[in-house]
Amino acid sequence: RVLSALGVSISHFECIFDFEAAGCCPKPDPEAYRRILRRLGASGDQCMLVEDNPRNLRTARSVFGMSTVLVRK
């Protein structure tokens, strides 16, 4: 829903994960990111987090080395 509201096609992404996919573990808890990376079989430097909350981006970048994109509301 969020991507559609922003006019972004999901075809640009290989995978999209949400709160339920993270086992209902909320960001910025590092465990949420670990669960997603484990499901992907990937390391953080292979992934990108697109997020509207800078706090969640900091954890992804500093703990896991993910590329991050801040979406302004």
Render pLDDT for 20-36 as a digit per residue (tens, 0 to 9): 777 788 889 999 999 98
Q: Which residues of the chain have pLDDT under 70?
A: 1, 73
d(CA 31, CA 15): 19
Specify the pLDDT at position 26.
Answer: 85
Q: Where are the domains of the chain?
A: 12-70
d(CA 73, CA 66): 22
Tell if the pTM clears 0.85, that is, is over it: no
Specify the pLDDT at position 31.
Answer: 93
C-alpha dist (Å) from residue 43 to 9, 27, 69: 25, 17, 17
Helix (H, G, I), strand (E, B), or coil: what is residue 45? helix
